[in-house]
Amino acid sequence: MTAWRLSLKQGPALRVDLRGVVPAVLASLPVGEVERLRLGYGKGSLALGELFSVAASTGGEGDELVLQGDLSRFDRIGWQMASGRLLVDGPAGDYAGACMSGGEIIVKGAAGALAACEMSGGSLIVEGNVGDFAAGTLPGSMDGMRGGRFVVKGSAGARFGDRMRRGSALVFGDAGDFLASRMVAGTIAIGGTAGAHVGYGMRRGTVVFAGAAPQISPTFVPALVDPAVFWQLLARDLARTGGPFEGLARRTIVRHLGDLSADGKGELIVAAAA
């Protein structure tokens, strides 16, 4: 079992599909076979070794994989990953961590669109920003992210958590318009400022605002009751991620329920100033 370090030799002329390049697959391969792995390249494919130099990570465990370089044109990093640890030392392209069901992925830069798309388990941390439709759906799918924990330490684009079904998705920074649109369930928490139309078509689920209060649409109604028990369970869990969520359980909350236009029983929870 080898922990591989793949270092980008040159920027690709076309976008590259990195599905299949996950710790569980590479750990048991010898270096020659790693280099010969085929990667989707535009409409064709090319060998991994043409883009990456492959070396064994010193001191690494067999279930780790490091990808180093500017990978912003590399899509589907960690696609359907089920186990192991993947570190991207640089920015990532679209669909980072999409459909992953286990393991841990850390992206040390920004990620493109559709990060954590249909994620069902494991942990994905993006230290930079993410593009649009993070935690969302594959084309035509009814449910987006449905499990696991997704943390964005930067800001998110538009439609963060679109059709999200389950799991926890946290953004330390700001989010664009249509945060939690068509949300089915699950938990989103944001530390910065949200854009317009939060919770548009939301059915169930919870969006926690630890930073600025958002503009709340008239299809949400104020909640009379403070769900103290539930808030403690949720806030303590979110606080484990730190950052703007530290001490969340001590803060009082104001809730709105909706989206009534979708028969929704979701909630927007604004935490009072820390």
Partner 1 sequence: MAEAVVRNGVSIDDGFAEAFPMKATRILITAHSIEWARHAAASATGFATSVIACGCEAGIEKELSTDETPDGRPGISVLIFSMSGKELAKQIERRVGQCVLTCPTTAVFAGISDGDAVALGKNLRFFGDGWQISKVIAGVRYWRVPVMDGEFVAQETTAVTKAVGGGNLLLLCTGTDSALAVAEAAVLAMKKLPNVIMPFPGGVVRSGSKVGSKYASLGASTNDAFCPSLVGLAPKTELTAETKCVMEIVIDGLTERDVGEAMRVGMEAGIAIGAAGGLLRISAGNYGGKLGPFHFHLQKLLGARA
By CB under 8 A, name the binding residues for partner 1. 147, 166-168, 185-187, 204, 206, 225-230, 232-234, 236-237, 249, 265
Residues 6+ apart with CB under 8 A from 112: 72, 75, 92, 93, 94, 95, 96, 130, 131
Task: Find the angle CA(48)-CA(51)-CA(52) to the nearest 5 degrees.
Answer: 75
What is the spatial distance between Cα 33 and Cα 179, in angstroms, rounded to a whole number? 43
In which element (H, E) is residue 105 found? strand 104-107
- Residue tagged 């370090």 (tokens): 5
What is the spatial distance between Cα 168 and Cα 188, in angstroms, rounded to a whole number? 6
Please say which residue, 40 or 102, places its beta carbon nearer to partner 1: 102
SS3 content of the chain, % helix, strand, coil (to 5): 15, 30, 55
Please say which residue, 49 or 227, places its beta carbon nearer to partner 1: 227
What is the spatial distance between Cα 159 and Cα 197, in angstroms, rounded to a whole number? 10
CB of 140 to partner 1, least distance (A): 25
CB of 226 to partner 1, least distance (A): 8
CB of 233 to partner 1, least distance (A): 6
Please say which residue, 212 or 223, places its beta carbon nearer to partner 1: 223
* End-to-end Cα distance, the chain: 47
Please say which residue, 72 or 101, places its beta carbon nearer to partner 1: 101
CB of 231 to partner 1, least distance (A): 9
> 3-class SS at 187?
strand
Please say which residue, 45 or 261, places its beta carbon nearer to partner 1: 261
In which element (H, E) is residue 31 found? helix 31-36
- Return the structure tokens found at 259: 């989206």
CB of 64 to partner 1, least distance (A): 23
Please say which residue, 2 or 187, places its beta carbon nearer to partner 1: 187
Residues 6+ apart with CB under 8 A from 223: 255, 256, 257, 267
CB of 223 to partner 1, least distance (A): 11
CB of 166 to partner 1, least distance (A): 6
Please say which residue, 46 or 223, places its beta carbon nearer to partner 1: 223
